[in-house]
Amino acid sequence: MNPSNGSRPRLVGTVAALLAGTVGLVAFPTGPLFALVFGLVTGVAGWTMARRWDVWGASGNRWSGALAGLVTATAFLGVQGLPLALGHRLALSLLLISVGYASAGLAVEFAVDVENRPSDGDESRPTPGSHVSE
């Protein structure tokens, strides 16, 4: 998806935020503040994923598979042992998934922004992927 056409990613983010916020308010015993945060984080995840779908949807991308496995395992296996009611564990699990994908999406945006930044001619500044030794 071309990020210059910002209407579709914004629509995806808005719909994701509204749906998640509604679910957070209606389905979980957590209250309106959780619903607001859950909606906001899920909206950011939806917006960033839709904005850079060419990165997320690339076939054979081992990093998206690693992200999905790590986030899902953490959310569902890591939370199950906590001494919380079932509704709170489910809410926390879904929030962790949203935070994981929103964080990864923002990291992709950051990397694309750095990669596309025009060079200022300063050769001493490290480039993305290079290592600075002291």
Domain total for the chain?
A: 1
Is 22 domain-assigned?
A: yes
Cα(23)–Cα(4) distance, rounded to whole angstroms? 31
Q: Is residue 114 part of a domain?
A: no
Q: Backbone dihedral region of 31: left (phi > 0), alpha (psi from -120 to 50 degrees) or beta?
A: left
Give the structural domain span for 46.
7-55+64-108
**Closest to 45 (Cα-Cα) out of 89, 75, 70, 15:** 15
Residue 74, in any domain of the structure: yes
Q: Is 118 contained in some domain?
A: no
What confidence score (pLDDT) does residue 54 get?
Answer: 84
Confidence (pLDDT) at 7? 87
Q: Residue 1's pLDDT is what?
A: 47
For residue 2, tell me if it sits in a domain. no
Examine residue 117 and state whether it is found in any structural domain, yes or no. no
Q: What are the residue ranges of helices labelled H in the chain?
A: 7-26, 32-51, 53-56, 62-80, 86-116
Q: Which of 45, 60, 17 is nearest to 107 (CA)?
A: 45
- 10-residue averages of pLDDT along the chain (134 residues): 69 95 93 96 95 79 84 91 92 95 92 82 56 50
Residue 126 lies in a domain: no
Classify residue 131: in a domain, yes or no.
Answer: no
